[in-house]
Structure 1
Amino acid sequence: MRHQYATPWIWIFLLPLALDYKATDANTGHFAQSALVLPAAAAGLALLLIAPRFHERSRLRSVVTISMLLCVFGSIVAQLVQDNDTGNYLRTLLPFMLFMLGYLVACRPWSEYRLSQFEKALFVANVISLVFTFVYGMATGGGLEDVRYRIISVTLLGLQGVLLHEFVVARRFSFFTVAVFAGTIIVELLSVTRSLLVGTVLLFLLAMALSAPTIRDIWRALARSLVVGAVLAGMAGVAALSFPTVAEHWTQRIFASEETASGKDPTTITRLAEMRNQYDQVTSSADALLFGEGYGHYYRYSPVYLPDLAGQFSEKDFYAINEWAAGHNFWVYQLFAGGLVFGIGMPLATLAALAICFFSYRYWRSVVPDAPLLPVLGRAIMLFAALPATSIGGNPLGPRFSGLVFGVALGLMIATHARLQRALPARIKRPPRPPQHHPAAMPELPGRIQPGMGRADLASTLGMSHAESTASKPNQISALVSRSSPARHSNRPNIVR
C-alpha cells in the first residue's frame, strides 16, 4: 500500500522543472523559478523513502555514489574556507544537489513498470522543455541575435540522444519521434550554436557504435548514415532559404575569426580567458588547489587574452566582467570550485562509468541481444552521454532542469548495469596460446547466466516475473519503453516498487 503513489511521485519529480526558464534580467527576483524546485524536491525525497534497495554490492555504483557525495557535501569545506556569498553559493550548488538527488532516486532496482514510468516522464519532460523554452524565448522579443540563447532547451542534446537510440539502435520510427527530432534540428539552426551541432554529431556516432557490435557493422552503419546526413543537409538548406538572416548569422559565426583584428574567434578566446582565470585562481595556493575556491566564487577574464580581443572588447568592459555562476567549461569549473579533493572526482567517475557501461552494452548486445532491461541501459547511456556533449559549449550542471535529468539518467544507467552484470555473462579472458587440438571450453561462471539459456532464467535473476519479460504489445506507441510492456499487477514474489 505504501507504494501506491509511486507513479504520481515520478511525474511530479520530473515535470515541474521542465517549465524552468532563462530569465532576461539577472537582477530580478524569480519566485516562480524557485517554486518549481519545491515539488520536485519533495517528490524526490518521497521516492527515496519508498525506493527498493540493492542487496548486492557493486564497485562501480559505490565509486560513483562516493564521488557524488564528496562533490556536494565537500563543497561545505570550500565554503567555510573561502567564505563566499551564501546566496551565490546556494544558487550555484542547487543544480548539483538536484543532480545527486536524481541519481540517488534512479539508482535503485525499480521494477520494469516503474522504469517505464521514469522513461516516459523523462521523454515528456524533455519535449515540454523543448517547446516551452522555444516559445518563451521567442516571446521575450527582440531579434534573433538577442533571443537565440534563450530558445535552446538545456536538455536538447539529451532528447536527441534518446531519439537517436530509437532511430539508429532500435530502428523504430514514428511520425511523432521524427517530428520531434526535426524540431530539435530547427532549434539548433535558429540558435546559431556550433557546439550543439558538434554534440549532435558525436551522439550520432555513439549511437552507431552501440548498434554495431563489429567493425564490419560499423562500416555498414556509416553507409546508412549517408542517407541521414543527406536528409539533415536538406533540412539545413530549406532553413537557409526560408530564413536568410539565419544563414547570414551562420556565415558570420563560421568565419568570425577572419573578421577580427587578431584573426582568432572571439567566442573561443573568451572561453579560454575564463578558464585561464579559474585555473590561475585555483593554483594560487595549496588550500585552493586541494579544496577549491568554492561554488559561487567570483572569476574574471584572464588579461593574457586581452590583446586577442582587440576590437571586440574595450579594456574597461574586459576588466568589468565579474561572474559567480557556474562557468562555461564544466571540467575546469569543477577543479576551480572543488579542487583536487572534492572537484575532479565526480567528473572522472561519471566518465569512467559511461565508458564501462558503453563497452558492457556492446558485449552483452552481441551475446544476449534480447536480454531484459538491455534497451533501458542503451537509452540511459545515450541520455547521459549528452552531459559531456553539452559540456562542449557550456556547463550542463548550470541549469536546474538539466542537473535533475542527467542525474536520473546516470542513476538509471548505473542501476541497470549492476543488475545486468549480475545476470548476464561476463567477458571471458582468453589464454594467450590456446591449445590447437583441444580448445578451452567456457569455464563455469558461478552466479551468472550462460549464453543461450532461457529468458525466464534471466528474468528471475533480474528480479522480474516471467510475465513481465515475455509480455509483448506490438502496437504500443512509446519512444522510450521497450516493446515488452510489463503487467502492472502481475503475481510476483516481491512487492512492486
Structure 2
Amino acid sequence: MRNKNVELWIWMCFVPLAFDYKAPDAQFGHGAQWLAVFPALAGATILAMIGPRFTRPSRLRTFVTRALAFSLIGSLVAQVLQHNAIGNYLRVILPFLLFGLGYAAMCRPWHPLRLAQMQRILYYANVCGMVFTFVFGLLAVGGPLSDIRFRIVSPTMLGLQAILLHQFIVARRFNLAMVLVFLASLVVELLSVTRSLLVATVLLALFAAWLAAPSFRHLLRSIVRTVAALLLVAGLGLGASYFFPSVTEHWTQRVTAAQNSDSDRDPTTITRIAEMRDQYDQVTSSAESLLFGKGFGHWYRYSPIYYPYVRETFSKADYFDTKDWVAGHNFWVYQFYAEGIVFGLLMPVAVLVAIVVGSFGFRRWHRIAPRDPLLMPLSMSILLLAALPATSIGGNPLGPRFSGLVYGIALGLLVSLYSQLHYRLDVVRARHRARPAFRPYPSVEPTYRPPAPAAPLNT
C-alpha cells in the first residue's frame, strides 16, 4: 500500500538528531536532547513498519540481521548478570538501539526514487550536524580553542566526508556547494587539532579511489586524482597555518608530543591504551565476565601500569581518580568489554563483513552493469559505513546518538542494495547461462510422401 507521507517520516528520522548536543556539565539542560531523540525513534519505527518487504532470502541480510539482534539481546544478559546502574545502561544502549532501528528502517527494497530522497536528506542532516556542533561548541561551551576542540567536531564528520568523497571520486559529480562544504569540514578538522580525523580522511579517500576503479588502469588514474586532491588539502592546511598561527603551534605540540616527553610516549595515546587495558583486565577477571562481558554502562578506569609514562601530564590523584561509564574510546575493545566473547564479536564482525562483501560486489557489478540505478546508492552506503571503522581510530562511533543512527542507516542501505543487485546481476544471469537455448528440430525430408489428390474431371 502506498504511503504519501514517506518523505515526511524520512525527514523526521534523519534530521532531528543532527541538532543533538553534548552537555558541557551536569547543570546544563538535557530536555532538548529528548526532543531530538523521540522524533528520530518514531520516524525510524514508522519507516520499518511501512517499508516494502523482501520476497527472497539473502545470506548477507540474514547474517547481519541475526548478528545485530543477538548483540542487543546480549546487552540484556550482561545487564542481568552485572546489575549496572539502570540510568547508565539506558544512556549507553540508546545509540545501539538507534543503530538497530536505522538498520531495520533502511533494510528494505526501497524504490530508486525513495533512495534518491534518502541520500539527499541524509546529506542535509550531516551538514546541519556539522554546522550546529561547531556553533554550539563555540558559543554555548566557550573558552579557548584548546579546551573546546573536541566539542566543535560533529560525531558524523567523517560520514559527511565519505558522502562527499563518493560524489567527487566514485560518482564524479562536482558541485560548488559540495566543494565548499568539504573544505569547511577540513577547516574544522584543522581547528580541532585531531590527528586521527586527518588520518581517517586520507584513508577514506584512498578507499574511495580503490572502490571507483574497476581495473588496474582505472585504479592508477583514480589514485593520481586522489593524490592531487590530497595535495590541495595540504595546501589548504599551509594556508590555514598562516592565518591561524596559534593552531599551527598547537599542531606542532601534538605532533611532537612524544619527542618532548621524558618517556618518549604520547600522553593521549597512553591514556587510550591505559583505558583499554583496564577494560581488558576487568573482562578477563572471571569466566562469567569473559563470556558475557561487564555490560553497557559499567565503570572503568585507567590501568595503573601506564602511570609512569604520563606522570608529567597527570597528577597521581587525577590519574587514579578518573573513571567513566560511557561507551569508551575504542569501538572494538569496548564491544568485547561490554558483551564478552559470546555477544561482543557479533556487531563488529557484521560491520566488517558487510563492508568487504559489498565492496567486492560493487567492483564486480560496476564492470558488468555500470548503468544500473542501484549501483551509486550502494557505493555511497559502502563509503558511509566505512566511516565507522575510520572513526574508531580515535573514538567509539556508537557513543553519540546521531552517529549511531547514521551508521545504522548506512548498514541497512548496504545490505538491502546488495541483496537486490546480487539477485538481479548474479543469480538471474547465472540461471540464464545455465538454461539451454531452444533449438527447433531440423527439417527432415520424409521418405514417403502421399500423392496429391486427383483433380476433378470436367464434364
Contact 1:152–1:187 (8 Å) recurs in 2: yes
SS at match of 2:398: coil
Q: What is the letter of the counterpart of residue 77 of structure 2?
A: V
Residues 109/285 of structure 1: CA separation in 2 closer, same or farther (3 Å cut)? same
- RMSD over equivalenced CA pairs, Å: 1.6
CA distance in 1, matches of 2:171, 2:111: 22
Deviation of 1:259 after TM superposition, in Å, equals: 1.7
The one-character-per-residue Cα deviations of 1:329-364 (angstroms, maximum 9, x if unpaired) are: 000000000111111111011101100000110111
Does residue 1:376 correspond to 2:361, yes or no? no
Equivalent in the alignment of 2:304: 303
Q: Which has the higher helix share?
A: 2
Equivalent in the alignment of 1:189: 190
Equivalent in the alignment of 1:149: 150
CA distance in 2, matches of 1:448, 1:74: 44
Does residue 1:445 correspond to 2:446, yes or no? no
Contact 1:169–1:207 (8 Å) recurs in 2: yes
Deviation of 1:226 after TM superposition, in Å, equals: 3.1
SS at match of 1:446: helix
Deviation of 1:220 after TM superposition, in Å, equals: 2.0
Q: What is the letter of the counterpart of residue 39 of structure 1?
A: P
CA distance in 1, matches of 2:279, 2:87: 20
CA distance in 1, matches of 2:231, 2:267: 31
CA distance in 1, matches of 2:193, 2:42: 37
SS at match of 2:301: coil
SS at match of 2:327: coil
Contact 1:424–1:449 (8 Å) recurs in 2: no
Equivalent in the alignment of 1:476: none
TM value normalised by structure 2: 0.92
Q: What is the letter of the counterpart of residue 97 of structure 1?
A: L
- More divergent stretch after superposition (102-111 vs 65-74): 65-74
Does residue 1:251 correspond to 2:236, yes or no? no
CA distance in 1, matches of 2:292, 2:270: 28
Contact 2:23–2:29 (8 Å) recurs in 1: no
Contact 1:161–1:382 (8 Å) recurs in 2: yes
Does residue 1:293 correspond to 2:278, yes or no? no
Residues 447/78 of structure 1: CA separation in 2 closer, same or farther (3 Å cut)? farther
SS at match of 1:177: helix
CA distance in 2, matches of 1:149, 1:444: 50
Contact 2:112–2:373 (8 Å) recurs in 1: no
Does residue 1:159 correspond to 2:160, yes or no? yes
CA distance in 1, matches of 2:401, 2:433: 40
Q: What is the letter of the counterpart of residue 33 of structure 1?
A: Q
Deviation of 1:223 after TM superposition, in Å, equals: 2.0
Deviation of 1:2 after TM superposition, in Å, equals: 5.5
Contact 2:103–2:411 (8 Å) recurs in 1: yes
Residues 128/374 of structure 1: CA separation in 2 closer, same or farther (3 Å cut)? same
Equivalent in the alignment of 1:132: 132
CA distance in 2, matches of 1:449, 1:386: 40
Contact 2:19–2:129 (8 Å) recurs in 1: yes
TM value normalised by structure 1: 0.85
Residues 29/287 of structure 1: CA separation in 2 closer, same or farther (3 Å cut)? farther
Deviation of 1:228 after TM superposition, in Å, equals: 1.0
Contact 2:214–2:367 (8 Å) recurs in 1: yes
CA distance in 1, matches of 2:2, 2:38: 22
Q: What is the letter of the counterpart of residue 48 of structure 2?
A: L
CA distance in 2, matches of 1:2, 1:372: 22
The one-character-per-residue Cα deviations of 1:405-459 (angstroms, maximum 9, x if unpaired) are: 0000100000000000000136xxxxxxxxxxxxxxxx97117899xxxxxxxxx
| Structure label with greater radius of gyration | 2
Does residue 1:279 correspond to 2:280, yes or no? yes
CA distance in 2, matches of 1:215, 1:285: 51
Contact 1:422–1:448 (8 Å) recurs in 2: no
CA distance in 2, matches of 1:235, 1:196: 16
Equivalent in the alignment of 1:339: 340
CA distance in 2, matches of 1:354, 1:223: 24
Contact 1:293–1:339 (8 Å) recurs in 2: yes
Equivalent in the alignment of 2:406: 405
Equivalent in the alignment of 2:7: 7
Equivalent in the alignment of 1:270: 271
CA distance in 1, matches of 2:144, 2:431: 64
- More divergent stretch after superposition (396-405 vs 136-145): 136-145
Contact 1:423–1:449 (8 Å) recurs in 2: no
Question: Please, which runs of 5 or more residues in structure 1 have no aligned partner?
Answer: 427-442, 451-497
CA distance in 2, matches of 1:45, 1:222: 41
Equivalent in the alignment of 2:100: 100
SS at match of 2:265: coil
- More divergent stretch after superposition (226-235 vs 319-328): 226-235
Equivalent in the alignment of 1:463: none
- More divergent stretch after superposition (223-232 vs 164-173): 223-232
Equivalent in the alignment of 1:362: 363
Residues 82/223 of structure 1: CA separation in 2 closer, same or farther (3 Å cut)? same
CA distance in 1, matches of 2:224, 2:232: 14
**What fraction of aligned residue pairs are identical, expressed as a percent?**
53
CA distance in 2, matches of 1:120, 1:113: 11
Deviation of 1:208 after TM superposition, in Å, equals: 0.3
CA distance in 2, matches of 1:191, 1:103: 31
Contact 1:261–1:310 (8 Å) recurs in 2: no
Equivalent in the alignment of 2:450: none
Aligned residues: 434
- More divergent stretch after superposition (219-228 vs 243-252): 219-228
CA distance in 1, matches of 2:422, 2:38: 36
Equivalent in the alignment of 2:180: 179
Deviation of 1:119 after TM superposition, in Å, equals: 1.0
Does residue 1:323 correspond to 2:330, yes or no? no
Deviation of 1:27 after TM superposition, in Å, equals: 5.5
Residues 447/323 of structure 1: CA separation in 2 closer, same or farther (3 Å cut)? farther
Equivalent in the alignment of 1:472: none
CA distance in 2, matches of 1:348, 1:425: 24
Equivalent in the alignment of 1:214: 215
Does residue 1:64 correspond to 2:64, yes or no? yes
CA distance in 1, matches of 2:42, 2:231: 46
Q: What is the letter of the counterpart of residue 445 of structure 1?
A: A
CA distance in 2, matches of 1:9, 1:344: 32
SS at match of 1:445: helix
The one-character-per-residue Cα deviations of 1:89-135 (angstroms, maximum 9, x if unpaired) are: 00000000000000000000011121112111110000000111111
Contact 1:154–1:402 (8 Å) recurs in 2: yes
CA distance in 2, matches of 1:363, 1:29: 51
Deviation of 1:28 after TM superposition, in Å, equals: 4.1
Equivalent in the alignment of 1:348: 349
Equivalent in the alignment of 1:467: none
Question: Please, which runs of 5 or more residues in structure 2 have no aligned partner?
Answer: 436-459
CA distance in 1, matches of 2:392, 2:226: 25
Deviation of 1:29 after TM superposition, in Å, equals: 4.8
The one-character-per-residue Cα deviations of 1:356-387 (angstroms, maximum 9, x if unpaired) are: 00011011101111112000101000111100
Does residue 1:81 correspond to 2:66, yes or no? no
